Amino acid sequence: MTRRLTLALPSKGRLREPSWALLEASGVAPQEPGERVLQAHCRNADIDLLFVRADDVPEYVQDSVVDCGITGLDLVAERDSSVEVLLRLGFGTCSLQAAVSMEDSATKLSDLEGRRIATSHPRIAAKVLAERGVSADLVQVAGSVEISPRLGLADAIIDLVSTGSTLRTNGLRSIGVLFESEAVLVGRTGSTDHEARRTLTTLLGSVINARANRYLLCNVAKDRLAEVTAVLPTKGSPTVMDLATPGIVAVHALVPAAEIWSLLPKLAACGATSILTLPVERMVP
């Protein structure tokens, strides 16, 4: 019998919805949790879910309270947790950046030498500043880091930034990136023999791979096939099939979603017609 897997999911905050969506897209069907439910079981997989704060996930995994969890890479680094990153999940992307007020003269990290910096990520901040030879006075705050300079609490901040709009709204300007983060699936270090964990990692990975690709179909005259295959940004070999109309073939290929924009005009220039792109649900290499 397969040992059941316990998976900690963020119960609120920005990682909650995309974590839930990823699980659903991967075909794992949990019973819909109500607002206050802390635990749920999956109907069709050997997985039990535990809903906790994203900040607590690294500790829960490290202490074997759960087998795996979804959290931010920044939180794993900040807690200095002894867990294994099994998969990068491609959402919750952000970076830990140093920022000063618009009027400040600082333009780079080394300009923060000897100054006061407010942050809710003191461990990563201290580590990166030390690596870059900058000695500064870190002030730990739990939230609303971006108002610290206006309150006179600090000269600068080190905080998570995704779009930069919060910095701009608060009259702040970035002067450097310290750490790049995204949501990750983490597991207990060394627990490689857990079959349900391997299956979950493969399943989630297949959805993440698929999201980055599109299935492309087009028709082209046989004598222009070489032109079409030459412009396809495809690693594997495309599928080529004869159509009922003599002299025309259908080309099917998997292409990176990010390249569709530049690819379509090239295909049209090669005489390709009936060009379709379809989302891919799952990709297992």
Residues forming the site for ligand AMP (CB under 6 A): 10, 13-15, 54, 72, 74-75, 92, 94, 160-162, 181
The C-alpha atoms of residue 111 and residue 284 are separated, in whole angstroms, by: 47
Rounded to the nearest whole angstrom, what is the least distance from the CB of residue 283 to ligand AMP in the complex?
Answer: 25
148 vs 219 by CB, closer to ligand AMP? 148
For residue 209, the one-letter residue type is N
Q: Smallest distance from the beta carbon of 201 to ligand AMP, in angstroms?
A: 20
Cβ-defined contacts of 125-129 (< 8 Å, 24+): 125/96, 125/158, 125/178, 128/96, 128/178, 128/179, 129/178
- 10, 96, 268 from 75: Cα distances, Å: 12, 11, 46
Rounded CA separation 268/220 (Å): 10
Of 121 and 188, nearer to ligand AMP (C-beta) is 121
Smallest gap, in angstroms, from Cβ of residue 170 to ligand AMP?
13
What are the tokens at 13?
């905050």
Nearer CB in complex with ligand AMP: 13/27: 13
User: Taken in order 66, 72, 75, 76, is the CA torsion positive or negative?
Assistant: positive
Query: Which lies closer to ligand AMP via its Cβ, residue 181 or residue 234?
Result: 181
- Can you tell me whether residue 74 is helix, strand or coil? helix
Nearer to ligand AMP, 75 or 109 (CB): 75
Using DSSP's 3-state secondary structure scheme, residue 4 falls into coil
DSSP category for residue 237: P
Q: How far is the CB of 239 from ligand AMP (least distance, A)?
A: 38
